Amino acid sequence: MALPLIQVKNLSFEYAVNQTKIPVLHDISFEVKPGEYVVIIGHNGSGKSTLSKHLNGILTPVSGDVVVNGWNTKEWSSMREIRQKVGMVFQHPDNQIVATIVEDDVAFGLENLEIPPSEMKERIDFALASVGMNEFRNRPPHYLSGGQKQRVAIAGVLAMKPDCLVLDEATSMLDTHGRNEILKVVRKLNDEGMAIISVTHHMSEAAQASRVIVIEKGRIIMDGTPREIFQQEEELKRLHLDIPVASQMARKVQSHHHDFNGTLIHNDEIVKEVVRLSQREVPVI
């Protein structure tokens, strides 16, 4: 069994606003293993962003602990190592770009790490190639599309060689094309072994994860594979959450044709199931 990369242990958190304490996260515990692809879903205001910010020490627990590769995020002396291990990409592409040239932006995080220039160049080349942005390296980020800017933001994180990438609704400001570009990059990084933790409202993205965590009012209320989670349509409806279109379709067809597999969650599975049933001697559909 691989050791956990991130351990969240009985994490509780509250914001303090004008001396008033606003409790947001309550006794959250889970672990993320190397190479996992975890999607976090939940209604607006359920605490997803607050939780994400705990995963690399941007916020620290009021009680409980977050431990990254053995380092507790409450130990300031380990913050540099923690931030290198777990990189974050946020919702707004514009807020994450700091330099006036793409490759300088990717280099930005490396500058404090005292890396020799030759290795720095190597890392920038690798990061830009990973997100398919090499040909834009000398351009001002300003002229890039939203999806391209997010790819540059991801490259900035990749240059640090993290073991885990946390995305907090990183595709929500993008059109379908931009979103697909990012998802392709994320899937490739995961295939190559990087752990991914992604907060999203897109259930088709949740379906491609290895695990889905559902949060309600600062508590984890479901944690399982996408197939397990999306079978609980009624409970998700109660939480104002959708299920992927493929799941909706599979469940609908199954309600009319009991032989149809109602647990499908991917479009290509639906196609295969239709082919399977249509090849039977007495087709049911």
Ligand X SMILES: Nc1ncnc2c1ncn2[C@@H]1O[C@H](COP(=O)(O)OP(=O)(O)OP(=O)(O)O)[C@@H](O)[C@H]1O
Contact region with Mg ion (CB under 5 A), list: 47-55, 125-133, 189-197, 262-270? 47-55
3-state secondary structure of 46: coil
Nearer to Mg ion, 49 or 145 (CB): 49
The DSSP secondary-structure symbol of 241 reads -
Are the C-beta atoms of residues 139 and 163 closer than 8 Å to each other?
A: no
Nearer to ligand X, 66 or 159 (CB): 66
Nearer to ligand X, 18 or 138 (CB): 18
Interface residues with ligand X (CB under 6 A) are 15, 17, 22, 24, 42, 44-50
3-state secondary structure of 174: coil
- Compute the distance between CA of residue 35 and CA of residue 193 in angstroms, rounded to an integer: 5
* Tokens coding 241: 């959450």
Which of the choices ligand X, Mg ion, none does residue 17 contact, using the CB cut-off of 5 to 8 A by kind? ligand X
Are the C-beta atoms of residues 148 and 136 closer than 8 Å to each other?
A: yes
Nearer to ligand X, 22 or 275 (CB): 22
- Please report how close the Cβ of residue 240 comes to ligand X at its closest, in angstroms: 11
Q: Which of residues 49-68 bind Mg ion (CB under 5 A)?
A: 49
- Please report how close the Cβ of residue 125 comes to ligand X at its closest, in angstroms: 34
- Please report how close the Cβ of residue 17 comes to ligand X at its closest, in angstroms: 5
**Amino acid in the structure at residue 276:** R
Which of the choices ligand X, Mg ion, none does residue 4 contact, using the CB cut-off of 5 to 8 A by kind? none
3-state secondary structure of 142: helix
Are the C-beta atoms of residues 265 and 248 closer than 8 Å to each other?
A: no
- Compute the distance between CA of residue 44 and CA of residue 217 in angstroms, rounded to an integer: 9
Nearer to ligand X, 1 or 17 (CB): 17
- Please report how close the Cβ of residue 50 comes to ligand X at its closest, in angstroms: 3
